[in-house]
Structure 1
Amino acid sequence: MNRETISSIATALVVGGGIGGMATAISLAERGVKVDLIDLDPEWRVYGAGITITGPTLRAYRQLGLLEQIKQQGAITSKTRLFRYDGHHILDLEEPVIEEGLPATGGIMRPILHHIMQRRVTELQIPVQLGLTVSALENRDDGVDVRFSNGTEGRYDLVVGADSVASGVRSIAFPHMGPAQPTGQGCWRISIAKPPGLNASEFFLGHANPAGITPCAPDKIYLWMLTPHVEREQHMDEEELFVTLKELLRDFGGNAGWIRDTMTREDWINYRPLAAVLQPRDWFNGRIVLVGDAVHATTPHLASGAGMAVESGIVLAEELARTPDVASGLRAYQERRFDRCRDVIETSVAVGQLQLENGDPQIHAKMLEGALHRLNAPY
C-alpha cells in the first residue's frame, strides 16, 4: 500500500516497544522516516492472556497490513452474547461489519499479537535497542537532544513517548500531566481451553462481579472478571489467585461456570487494579509527543485500549504527512484524537462505576452498544 511521505522530519525515536510504540514506528517508517525503537525490557517480552479485538481495532490493524495474520492466528466472531450471571441469555449484540472485507470482532493471545507486530518491525528494518530508555530530553528548534539511560546521546527530529501508563517521557517533558487514577475496580484474567460449543464472545452481567469470555484461538479463550479493588500490602501468589478466582465464580452458570469447574492450577491467572486518565492538552511539547497509554489510558470495559493506541500511531503519521510543518502535524494529531479517546475513557469509567453500584444489566448493555456504535465511525 502506498503511503504519503512525511517531508517535515527525517528521523524519529520511539520510546516503548509495546502495541502503541510498534504501531507508531511502523506507520512512520512506511512513510519514509528513519525510526529508532527502544524498549526498557531487555527481552522485549509481553505478558498476559488474550486480548479482545473489536471491529474498529481490526480496521486499524488492516491499515498496518497485519489483518490477515491476526485472522490466521487469532479467532474471529460476529457477535457478543450477553447473559445474566447465572447463564440466562439476555440478548445478542450483533457486531456490524464496518467495512467490506473486515471481520466484525475477534480476539488473539497478546504474545501472539506482539510477535506479529515485532515481525513487521523487523521487516521494515527498524533498529531496536532493548534494555534502554531515555533519561533526559531537550527541545531544539529543529529537533530533540536525547540522553539515554546508558549514558549515550542522540539527536532526532521527533521523539514519541509510547512507554506505557507510567511513561518516563511524560514525566520528563510534560509537567502539566499526572498519573492515571484508580477506578476502584480490579481485573482478573485466566487463559484456558475453550468451552465446548462456544462460538462468540460472552458477557455475564447482573452480578456484583461482571465477567466475560473472549475466544483467542481455535482452542483457546480467556475469561475476565471485574471486582472491587481492595488495597493490600502483598501481591497474591499463584495458589491464592487460583482459589480466589474459583470462589469468585461460585454463582456463575453457562460457560463461566464450566470454566470454574474445569480450571486447574496450570492455567495462567492474573489480577491487576484498574486505572484510567485522559491527559490534558497539549499532548506535545515542541517535538516531543505522546501516544497510547502514556496519554490516553483506559480500562478494558470497551476492549479498546490497544485499538486506541494503534489508531493514535497511525493518525500521528498521517497528520505529519498531511501538514507542511511538525507543529501543525502534532496539533492536528492531537485534535483528531482527543474527543475519540475521551469518549472511550469516560464511557469505560462510567460502565465500571455502574458495575460497582451493581446497576441494571439492561443499562449496562445499552451503554456498551452505544459506545461500540460510536467507535465504528471513522477515526
Structure 2
Amino acid sequence: MSESVKKILIVGGGFTGMSAAILLQQQGVEVHLVELDKNWRTDGAGITVSGPSLRAIEQIGVLDQFKQFGAIFQNVDMFTSDGTHLRQIPTPAVPGSSIVGGGGIMRPVLAKILAEETKKAGVKVLLGHTYDSLQDMDDRVDVTFTNGESDSYDMVAAADGVFSKTRQLIFPDAPTPQYTGQVVWRAVVERHGLERPALFYGPNGKLGFTPVSATHMYLNYTEQQPKKVRLADDQLLPHLKGLIAEFTAPVIEKVKAELNQNSSILARPLEGMIMQRPWSKGRVLLMGDAVHATTPHLASGAGMGHEDAVVLADEVKTGGPVQDILKRFEDRRWTRCSLIVSNSKRLGEIEQTGGSKVEHMQIMALSMSALMAPI
C-alpha cells in the first residue's frame, strides 16, 4: 500500500469507479465510494467488449463472472445486406493476458458483477448521495456529503461521467461533450444461431449483432442524424424497423419478426470529448468519461475506463507523493485515450460523409494495434 494514499474517495459508481474501487481496496487502501443513484442501476442494452478491454477486466478480477453471464467469441463475420458471406475477420490473442478474441455482455449484468465485487472487496459504499463540497487542504481533501456527513481523504478520484459535476467544479472552462451527428440504436434479441459478431452492409448503413449471453445478442445500427432529436418511446420500435428494412438476410428477417416493445430498444445520440491535460488539480483526479468520453466505433468506451482503474491502482501501489502518482497516471493514459477518442470521432465522420474506405481501414488497423499494446 502507498504511504501517501491510504484512504481514497471514489465519486461515481459506474464501471470506472467500481473497477478502481475494487483494485485499490484489494491492495490495502481504504476506499469509500459515493453514488448518486440510490438503486445503483446501469441502464442500457448490450455492450461489445474488445479483446484489450477484456484484458483490463481480467486484471480487475471479474473475467470468470464475465464468461459465466456474458459471451466470449473469436472472429467477426461480414455479410451483404441479403446475407451473402463476404469474409471473416480474425481476432488475435491479446498480449499480456489469456484473451483471444472479444466479448459481449448486457450492461446491467456487468454492472451487477462489478457492484457485487465492490461490496465483496470491503469498499464502503454510500448510495443516493454525492458530495456538497471538496476542499483541498494541501495534505488532504476534506469532503462534505449531501447526507450531512464529512470525512477527509488522501485523494479523490472522480469518475462521475460524461457530464461530470467534479469537472465543472475544478475546471469550469473545460470542454463539454459535443454531439457528433450520429445516433446509435440498440435492441436485445435472440441469437438465432449466430456464433459470433456479425456485420451486415447495406446501401445506406451497417447493421451489427454481438452475442451477450448464451441465448441473446444485441442489435446495433448507427443512424446519420444531423440534428440531435429525441423520439417518444412509442416511436422507437417503428423507427428502428424502418432503419433496418433494407436488410433482408434470413437471420435479420427473424429479428424483424421478433422485435417488439419489450426488446430494450434504445437510441443514444453519440457525443464525445477529450479534455486537455491536466486531468487533476491538487489531490482531485478526473478519470473515465469525465475526461475522455468516446463514441463506440472502436468498442472501447467502457474499456478505457477499466484501463484507467488498472493504471491508477498500479501507480498508487508504486507510491510516491500524490502529485507524482497523478502525473504518472496522466502520462500513461493521455496518448492512448486521446488516440481512441480522436480516431473514433474520425471513423464517425467518414461514415457520415461517405469518405474513404481505405482511410477507414487504416484507422481501424492503427487503433487496434495501439489497443493491443500494454496499458
User: Which TM-score bucket, shorter chain as reference?
Assistant: over 0.9
Distance 2:372 2:57 in 1: 14
Match of 1:214 in 2: 210
Match of 1:330 in 2: 326
Instruction: Give the residue type in structure 2 aligned to 1:106.
Output: G
Is the contact between residue 91 and residue 100 of structure 2 (CA under 8 Å) also seen in structure 1? no
Matched, 1:128 2:125: yes
Match of 2:248 in 1: 253
Q: Which moved more, 1:143-152 or 1:125-134?
A: 143-152
Determine which of 42, 45, 49 is the counterpart of 1:49.
45
Query: Residues 280-319 of structure 1: matches in 2 within 5 Å?
Result: 280-319=276-315
Is the contact between residue 16 and residue 161 of structure 1 (CA under 8 Å) also seen in structure 2? yes
Distance 2:38 2:325 in 1: 32
Distance 2:83 2:272 in 1: 30
Is the contact between residue 177 and residue 279 of structure 1 (CA under 8 Å) also seen in structure 2? yes
* TM-score, scaled to structure 1: 0.94
Matched, 1:91 2:87: yes
CA RMSD of aligned residues (A): 1.7
Is the contact between residue 179 and residue 228 of structure 2 (CA under 8 Å) also seen in structure 1? no
Matched, 1:144 2:141: yes
Q: Which moved more, 1:212-221 or 1:92-101?
A: 92-101
Instruction: Give the residue type in structure 2 aligned to 1:376.
Output: M
User: Given the superposition, is the C-alpha separation of residues 22 and 313 from structure 1 closer, same or farther in structure 2, using an over 3 Å criterion?
Assistant: same
Match of 2:64 in 1: 68
Distance 1:277 1:40 in 2: 23
Determine which of 370, 373, 379 is the counterpart of 2:366.
370
Match of 1:262 in 2: 258
Is the contact between residue 93 and residue 369 of structure 1 (CA under 8 Å) also seen in structure 2? no
- Residue 88 of structure 1: CA displacement? 3.4
Is the contact between residue 17 and residue 38 of structure 1 (CA under 8 Å) also seen in structure 2? yes
Match of 1:195 in 2: 192
- Residue 339 of structure 1: CA displacement? 0.5
Query: Residues 270-285 of structure 1: matches in 2 within 5 Å?
Result: 270-285=266-281
Is the contact between residue 8 and residue 324 of structure 1 (CA under 8 Å) also seen in structure 2? yes
Please state whether the residue corresponding to 1:311 is helix, strand or coil.
helix
Deviations 1:41-87 (A, max 9, x none): 01001111111111111110111111111111111111112233443
* TM-score, scaled to structure 2: 0.95
Deviations 1:241-277 (A, max 9, x none): 0000000001113334432233122211001111101
Deviations 1:3-46 (A, max 9, x none): xx222111111010000000111121112110110111010011
Is the contact between residue 184 and residue 228 of structure 1 (CA under 8 Å) also seen in structure 2? yes
- Residue 314 of structure 1: CA displacement? 1.1
Q: Identity rate of aligned residues, in percent?
A: 37
Please state whether the residue corresponding to 1:268 is helix, strand or coil.
coil
Matched, 1:79 2:106: no
* Structure 2 unmatched runs, 5+: none
Instruction: Give the residue type in structure 1 aligned to 2:243.
Output: L
Instruction: Give the residue type in structure 2 aligned to 1:104.
Output: G
Please state whether the residue corresponding to 1:346 is helix, strand or coil.
helix
Distance 2:118 2:106 in 1: 19
Matched, 1:115 2:112: yes
Please state whether the residue corresponding to 2:265 is helix, strand or coil.
strand
Residues matched between the structures, number: 373
Is the contact between residue 57 and residue 308 of structure 1 (CA under 8 Å) also seen in structure 2? yes
Distance 2:338 2:79 in 1: 28
Distance 1:66 1:179 in 2: 32
